[in-house]
Amino acid sequence: MSSLTLSEMIFALSKIAFRYEYHPQSPHDAGASGRHPTEKHLQILDQLALLLVTEAKGDIAAISLRDVENNQISLGYSKNRPFTDPETSYITDLLSMATDPTTTPTQKHGNLFCLVIQECRKKITSRLRDICQGLRRLREKKDFGIQGLESDQEDETESHATRTRCDHYIRQVLGEEIFPLTFSLSLFLKQWFESLLSAIPCGSQFQYWEHKPLVYRSIVIAYWIAGDLEAHKLLDSSLLLPIGKLGDYCGAITALVDKIILLDQNAYGGISMVEVC
């Protein structure tokens, strides 16, 4: 058997979602939570790779970050296939927006969000369909199996207090017109599910651009729901994974902005990009 060429070995490595490039630390180095200090960094690399996945299926990306000379950061990125010219342009725009010194973190987040939901729309649509598939299976259960709606219906005029920590954050981002103060999170989630099923009926073409505001809202909702254990108790467990995977887009953008801020604080001179072919 002939030995692999360098190009063939790199191509094989590109199929890995992310690579563990750090030596494990001793158990006593772990934080109070018991998780490795490097785990967050590995999750960040995994999340950033998600932003490079532009196809609905069979598209795998990998990212690595490392220090190089002159306080520079080298960002290596690869796929299980060659990058197209539009994808290369997208990656350049993504990093340019993230490192733009004239914009605030909030502005960076908003600009990146618009870019990502445009360029990753095929994968995002696929994850929305996964949620809707789960919702259709739950139709036999009253209100998709959401907990807490009975008390809402007993007194519709009652102003509901915040029941989980994510209520405030969802309202803060989406506004009270979309998530009224008189709505409990349970009632809000029911309306969200109904709007998804209405926009993405079974077996039909999803009009992505027509429903772009719903896509934006759904990613934000999914992000906060996925990170709140109290909110998990309201939902059927079968929905938690697909909702979490949709919310990963918001998490990935947040991780990218936070990473750039950290690099600025550590006085890094910039980031160079290297495509691993």
Same domain, 141 and 235: yes
Quick one: average pLDDT of 63-74? 63
Same domain, 138 and 40: no
CA angle 232, 236, 240 (to 5 degrees): 55
Same domain, 102 and 130: no
In single-letter form, the type of residue at position 256 comes to L
Tell me what pLDDT residue 28 has: 39
Confidence band for 259, pLDDT divided at 50, 70 and 90: confident
Same domain, 126 and 247: yes
Residues 37 and 30: their CA atoms lie apart, in Å, by 6
Would you tell me how many other CB atoms lie within 10 Å of the CB of residue 240?
15
Tell me what pLDDT residue 113 has: 94
Same domain, 246 and 128: yes
Same domain, 189 and 80: no
Alpha carbon dihedral 205, 206, 209, 212, in 10-degree steps, equals: 180
CB 248 within 8 A of CB 50: yes
What is the average pLDDT value for the chain, to the nearest integer?
77
**Is 166 contained in some domain?**
yes
**Is 104 contained in some domain?**
yes
Same domain, 88 and 114: yes
pLDDT digits (tens, 9 = 90+) for 220-241: 999 999 999 989 999 999 999 9
Which tokens belong to 210? 């027509």
Confidence band for 19, pLDDT divided at 50, 70 and 90: very low
Same domain, 94 and 143: no
**Is 27 contained in some domain?**
no
Domain count along the chain: 2
Same domain, 241 and 132: yes
Which tokens belong to 113? 């969000």
pLDDT digits (tens, 9 = 90+) for 95-142: 888 888 899 989 999 999 999 999 999 999 999 999 999 999 998 888
Look up the domain containing 92 and give its range: 7-21+36-119+256-275
Same domain, 249 and 260: no
**Is 30 contained in some domain?**
no
pLDDT digits (tens, 9 = 90+) for 158-171: 444 446 788 889 99
**Is 218 contained in some domain?**
yes
Same domain, 148 and 189: yes
Residues 274 and 272: their CA atoms lie apart, in Å, by 7
Same domain, 112 and 125: no
**Is 186 contained in some domain?**
yes
**Is 163 contained in some domain?**
yes
**Is 130 contained in some domain?**
yes
